[in-house]
Amino acid sequence: MSYARGTIAALVDAVVPGTPGAEGVQADGALDIDLDETVETAFNELQEAPEGPVRSLGYETMPFAPVLALLLDIGALELVLRREREESLRSPKDAYAGGPFSRLGPEDRMRAVRLLEADGLFPALDERYPDVPFGIVAYLMQGAMFITAMAAYSDWGDDTERPQGWRQADYPGPAEGYAVHMGYEVEEFVENDYGGGDGAEEDDTDDGATAMAADGGDDSDPEAWFDDRSRSADEAGDAEGGADR
């Protein structure tokens, strides 16, 4: 078991744990279907390595799984240092690595994720140094949670006819169809009037004039569109008139 695999194991086991007291398939968790391997593989295949130092080391893709593991350990360390840990530290399970993330209780592991993406050091650095894309850490954390959940409850990483997650959700798998047609709440939509009159009958209007009329709308956020550094919509409409040929 590698450092990356074992740290990811501590993540996926917190998201979908084995629950031995439950009945049948509901007792099984992410580690029963080697989800740590699926997530590790996914992270290592997220992005091709550009020409340069990483590729010259022999990587065709960016080794993001060890990066994810390292970040999780940093998040765990930050949680410990901030004294925001709420569960006791524990010996890592056999499938886990030995870093701080693997020694946290399952809810504390999620708190470490939250520090990494929202409340901790990296988000603070992101605020302070907007030119450096520290926010990528938050993106990777969201990706880890998304991939873990999707893979746990689908055929991602499991080619069997009915993977564990589908059985846990009592989802039968792809079907050819279902006889659940109950008729129609609306038989046909109607071409109703709009704009307080016969707008649907309006002829094609002059674009420039329409643009000016559109400016009459008051539903705008003043900070939004009108913080425009260039031209306003009616000017653009006029410009278009000139471009017509």
Task: Specify the long-range contacts of residues 166-172, CB closer than 8 Å, at least 24 apart.
Answer: 167/25, 168/25, 168/26, 168/28
Q: Is 83 in the site for another protein (CB under 8 A)?
A: no
Residues 36-75 that bind another protein (CB under 8 A): 42, 45-48, 50, 61
32 interacts with another protein by CB under 8 A: no
Question: Is residue 84 near another protein by the rule CB under 8 A?
Answer: no
Instruction: Report how far residue 10's alpha carbon sits from residue 172's, in angstroms, rounded to the nearest whole number.
Output: 29
Q: Is residue 87 at the binding interface for another protein, with CB under 8 A as the rule?
A: no
Cα 99 versus chain centre, distance = 25
Q: CB of 86: closest distance to another protein in angstroms?
A: 9
Smallest separation (angstroms) from another protein to the CB of 143 = 7
**Distances, alpha carbon 78 to alpha carbons 85, 95, 122, 137, 206, in Å:** 10, 23, 10, 14, 61
Binders of another protein among 148-177, rule CB under 8 A? Answer: 148-158, 165-166, 168-177
Per rule CB under 8 A, is residue 237 in the interface with another protein? yes
Q: How far is the CB of 166 from another protein (least distance, A)?
A: 6
Stretch that binds another protein, among 65-73, 75-83, 95-103, 203-211 (CB under 8 A): 203-211
Pair 189, 204: CB distance under 8 Å? no
In the complex with another protein, the residue whose CB is nearer, 94 or 227, is 227
Instruction: Write the binding mask 119 to 148 for another protein: x where contact by CB under 8 A, - elsewhere.
Output: -------x------xxxx-xx-xxx-xxxx
Region 174-193 residues binding another protein, contact defined as CB under 8 A: 174-193
How far apart are alpha carbons 237 and 208 in whole angstroms? Answer: 5
Closest distance to another protein from the beta carbon of 178 (Å): 4
Task: Give whichever of 56 and 192 is closer to another protein, judged by the CB atom.
Answer: 192
Give me the least distance between CB of 131 and another protein, in Å please: 10
Count of residues touching another protein (by CB under 8 A): 111
Which residues 6+ apart lie within 8 Å of 38 measured at CB?
151, 156, 157, 158
Q: Which residues, including other chains, have CB under 8 Å from residue 35's CB and lie 6 or more apart?
A: 12, 16, 148, 151, 152, 157
Structure tokens at 143: 């990706």
